[in-house]
Structure 1
Amino acid sequence: MNYLILVSHGQFSVGLKDALEMFVGDGIKTVKAIGLQSGEDTDHFENRFRSLLSTLEQNSELLILGDIIGGSPLTTVVNVLNQENRLESTIVLGGMNFPMALNATILKDSASKDDLISSVLREGASALKQFEINDDPEDDDEI
């Protein structure tokens, strides 16, 4: 079984998982979320992540999406995975956003490792754009 683990500062990962539930239904069972809370030290966060990790199948593959590469939450998670010899079966990506998480949830069980990485990163990047209102009445879809 493959798991997606959302890692963030604060409640971002929990909120993102909540939003994913609206789109993926039962697929959410293999999505986990954990965030370093305000005022929480990294040792406590590490213990909470170890606890979460212990609930997952030992031979499972993991896809970790973190909010910031180099941030304390993601660094702590990677250190634990390294100590538990789980990095070889783990993909770690940073800069997570909703399109990345949705794409990862849908593809994590079917795409090859390389295709998963490129698809998730491409989806996350392509979602970044400025919203513009088009005032051209000829572009209206109404008939």
Structure 2
Amino acid sequence: MVGIVIATHGQLAAGLLDAAELIMGEQAQVATLGLHHGDDVAAFGQALVRAAKSVSTGDGVLVLTDLFGASPNNQAATARTALTGIPYALLTGVNLPMLLTAFNERLLGNDLITMKQAVLTAGQTGIKDFFIELAKQ
């Protein structure tokens, strides 16, 4: 099973997991990390490495972060070097459709590469203008 780490600013990671589990039920092999005001960024990176190792079962780890180029994302990118031997993918811009897709891909038994592509697509297509979509009906 592919492990999942959600790393964001503040409580966003925990909130996303809470919402996803409300919809899909409790999930295994998932960890959340939140970077808060005043936190040591290097310590956050170390915690991210520990979280990735804790959810890894040998099938890889998908890390989802909130903002490209921000500290959680940068620490996740850097963490890869400490996780040699663990297949590792990193996507940014995490949203609820992405997380739900990741959980669904795991249920289907898909590998990390397939999961990553499906999650990326879900993130891109999950953003819609309600009234434009309504007009298509």
TM tier relative to shorter chain:
0.7 to 0.9
The letter of the residue matching 1:25 is G
- How big is the shift at 1:48? 2.5
Q: Percent identity?
A: 26
CA distance 1:53–1:126, change in 2 (3 Å): closer
> Match of 1:108, SS?
helix
TM-score (norm 2): 0.82
The letter of the residue matching 1:24 is M
Alignment correspondent of 1:116: 115
- How big is the shift at 1:71? 1.3
Q: CA RMSD in A?
A: 2.6
TM-score (norm 1): 0.79
Alignment correspondent of 2:71: 72
Alignment correspondent of 2:43: 44
What stretches of structure 2 of length at least 5 have no aligned partner?
none
The letter of the residue matching 2:61 is L
Alignment correspondent of 1:104: 102
Measure, in 2, the Cα distance between the counterparts of 1:134 and 1:119.
Answer: 22
- How big is the shift at 1:133? 9.2
Rg (Cα) greater in structure: 1
Alignment correspondent of 1:21: 21
- Once the two structures are superposed, what CA deviation does each residue of 1:103-122 show, in whole Å capped at 9, x if it has no partner? 01110362244432222111
What stretches of structure 1 of length at least 5 have no aligned partner?
none
Matched residue count: 135
The letter of the residue matching 2:103 is T
Alignment correspondent of 1:81: 80
